[in-house]
Structure formats: C-alpha cells, structure tokens
Amino acid sequence: MAPQGQPSAVPDDGLTTRQRRNRALLVVHTGEMKGKSTAAFGLALRAWNQGWPIGVFQFVKSAKWKVGEEHALRTLGDSGQGGTVAWHKMGEGWSWTRKAGTADDHAANAREGWEQVKRDLAAQTYRFYVLDEFTYPMTWGWVDVDEVVRVLRDRPGDQHVVITGRGAAPALVEAADLVMETHKVKHPMDAGQKGQRGIEW
C-alpha cells in the first residue's frame, strides 16, 4: 500500500486538501554520494507512467556520454504508452572536468540551457522537469541562484522540477519543497573497485 503522507500539521494556507496535495513541487537531490540523478530519473519514470510530458536537461555531462537512463526514458517516451520524453544536453563535449572548450564557452552554454528552461517553464512545455547537475552552474557563478529561485517560485501551472547535483545553494534548499541529501556509508571504490556497467552507467 502506498504511504498516505499524513502531515504532522495542517497549514493555514486557504487551500483544500486536494489543492495542497496536487501542488507542484520543487525537489532538490544533493549530497556527496552517488544516486542523485538516478533517483531523479526514477521520479521521471513515475511521471511517464502518469502520462506527463517530461523534459530532461543535462547541464554538465558531456553530450557524447550516453547514460542508461537516457536510452530507457527515450524508448519509453516513444512507446506511446505514457508521457513523452525530451532530452536536452547542454553543449557538445561539455563536461564537469572543464577539459573541452573554455570556461567562457561552458558558462555561455549553461546560460543558454537555463534560458531554454525558462522559456519552457513560461510556455508550460512539460509537466515534469529534471535539471540534472544544475547545482554546478550555480556554484560556479554561471547562472544566478537568486534568479533561479525566483523563476522556479513563480513558474505557472503545475510543473514539477527536480534539480540534482552536489553543494546545492542554501537559497535553493530553502526554496525547495523536498530536499534529499545522499551520504556515503560504503562504496566499492573504497576497496579499489572501479565503476561498472549496469551500476554506474
């Protein structure tokens, strides 16, 4: 049985229980351990099952890097069984290692990606957004945190947004409805084992 999500207190916000339950959420997955993006894509699977249009925006991983979730979600999106899936990669060869291109190129790509997200939010293009590794452009000063918080707070309709990445800005954490922080207890790499197919990608 699914959890009923009984609140510890009922806010005096003038909303009905149904209105409050269906309010669009801003979700942040942060922390030092792996699993932040994977958890976000798990939520995207639930959104797909509801028939919601999904927009994934990868802000850091190289456009050449094919993550397993991309193939799976694209295939599901094309199946005609659930929601549609659009997958956007913010720049060819753009990697968090900053090896390809200059810092100015990366910053411009990040700003361009954020401008597209803003346009899609204003147009209500998707019902569910994954802004994957979006904390990094904010940390590096490429995208303004206060603007992000303002735009997401004022987004129209019932658009859910999930942001992933380490070191989420305090203002973003404060604005979010749901924040998950991953912590490492154990990891195979501690014992010298490298990442493997089906687990890391």
In a domain, 54, yes or no: yes
Residue type, 89: K
User: For the chain, how many structural domains are there in total?
Assistant: 1
pLDDT at 12 over 90: no
Confidence category of residue 69, pLDDT binned at 50, 70, 90: confident
Domain that holds residue 152: 29-157
In a domain, 11, yes or no: no
CATH of the domain at 84: 3.40.50.300
In a domain, 187, yes or no: no
In a domain, 23, yes or no: no
CA nearest neighbour of 107 among 77, 139, 155, 73: 139
Mean pLDDT of 28-45: 95
DSSP per-residue string spanning 66-108: --HHHHHHHHHHTTTSS--EEEEESSTT--TT--SS-HHHHHH
In a domain, 120, yes or no: yes
Per-residue pLDDT of 167-179, as tens digits, reads 999 999 999 999 9
In a domain, 84, yes or no: yes
- How high does pLDDT run on average in the chain? 87
Mean pLDDT of 9-38: 86
In a domain, 89, yes or no: yes
In a domain, 14, yes or no: no
pLDDT at 165 over 50: yes
Whether 28 and 160 have beta carbons less than 8 Å apart is answered as no
Q: Indicate yes or no: pTM above 0.85.
A: yes
